[in-house]
Amino acid sequence: MTTQTLTPPATAATPAPRRRFRLTGERAMFAYTWLIIAWLVVPILIMIAFGFNNPKGRYNQTWQGFTLKWYKDVFAISDLTSALVISLGIAVISSLLAGALGTGIGYALGRYRFRGADGLNLIMFATMSSPELIMGISLLTLFVSAGIGLGAVTITIAHVMFSISFVSTVVRARVITLDRSIEEAAADLGASPWTTFWKVTFPIILPAVFSGVMLAFALSIDDFVVTNFTAGTTVTFPLWIWGATRVGLPPQVNVMGTLIFAAGILIAVVTSLRSRSKAKRD
């Protein structure tokens, strides 16, 4: 991660005019990067701002005064609240399941050489690069042909399916870089393979497992396309928003979006600070 050395090697051999050119090029790219970041943030700022808007009619798209009432009434629309609760429930269950199943695959792929590993890698690559539309349709055809009723269970099945590969990839990366001598030391001290795994290996790969589960949670709570095809009449948070686009979104959606955004940022910042202070201690 150290490429600071790459800043122009300002040797005497470099002619002065070219150095000045490079400097302005750097400045232009700096400004451009911030412009792109600003562009990425625009709709988020609008979402946050319009959670404080006081619209008269049904359409919440022109500024009509500041209010905090939507924060007070954030759960006033019962359909929307239950959609959020369903989304959270599915995200918790599917991320834990994908975490368990994906860790098994990631650990096996990182640690052992075994028959079928190539095929498994191929399937994982395929699940990560397949268009969501196609995964959604194919699951729909499976559930319809098998006569399985669509709902929260089929959504969860689908979310676990597309999350497993992401968890496995994160865990495998950690297992590959694992220092085997620590495990050998534990074995030399008489620990059984079972004890070695739970007392030594698992604590080391736990941060990777945790970030895999967080990734699966984020993928699940935001998923629209696959959910749209596997939901039946069940409504999740993104599906509710999609359904409400034609009639105008209530400001409560902005408030919930803002709260989810804030929670996500908070979790990300806390975990990154914790890992940073841990890295310092090590």
CB atoms within 10 A of CB 245: 8
Q: Which of 40, 189, 247, 279 binds other proteins (CB under 8 A)?
A: 40
Q: Is 182 a residue that touches other proteins (CB under 8 A)?
A: no
Interaction residues for other proteins, span 69-98 (CB under 8 A): none
Candidates 72-80, 115-123, 180-188, 205-213; binding stretch for other proteins (CB under 8 A): 115-123
Candidates 65-73, 183-191, 200-208, 215-223; binding stretch for other proteins (CB under 8 A): 215-223
Beta bridge partners, 256, equal: none
Query: CB-wise, 37 or 189, nearer to other proteins?
Result: 37
Residue 9 φ/ψ, nearest 5 degrees: -70, 95
**How far is CA 194 from its chain centroid?**
32
Structure tokens at 54: 């006081």
DSSP-assigned letter for residue 149? P
Q: Is 108 a residue that touches other proteins (CB under 8 A)?
A: yes
Query: CB-wise, 53 or 67, nearer to other proteins?
Result: 53
Q: Is 200 a residue that touches other proteins (CB under 8 A)?
A: no
Shortest CB 57 distance to other proteins, Å? 13
Q: Is 152 exposed, middle or buried (0-12, 13-18, 19+ CB in 10 A)?
A: middle
How far is residue 211's CA from residue 202's CA, in Å, rounded to a whole number?
Answer: 14
Q: Which of 10, 17, 43, 282 binds other proteins (CB under 8 A)?
A: 43
State the virtual CA torsion across 166, 172, 175, 176 in degrees, nearest 10. -140
Q: Give SS3 for 140.
A: helix
How far is residue 60's CA from residue 131's CA, in Å, rounded to a whole number?
Answer: 33
Candidates 67-75, 177-185, 202-210, 223-231; binding stretch for other proteins (CB under 8 A): 223-231
Structure tokens at 59: 């359409």
Q: Is 195 a residue that touches other proteins (CB under 8 A)?
A: no
How far is residue 270's CA from residue 201's CA, in Å, rounded to a whole number?
Answer: 24
Q: Is 273 a residue that touches other proteins (CB under 8 A)?
A: no
Interaction residues for other proteins, span 8-37 (CB under 8 A): 9, 18, 21-22, 25-26, 29-30, 32-33, 36-37
Q: Give SS3 for 65.
A: coil
Q: Which of 17, 116, 190, 203 binds other proteins (CB under 8 A)?
A: 116
Interaction residues for other proteins, span 123-162 (CB under 8 A): 123-127, 129-135, 137-142, 144-145, 157-158, 160-161
Shortest CB 121 distance to other proteins, Å? 9
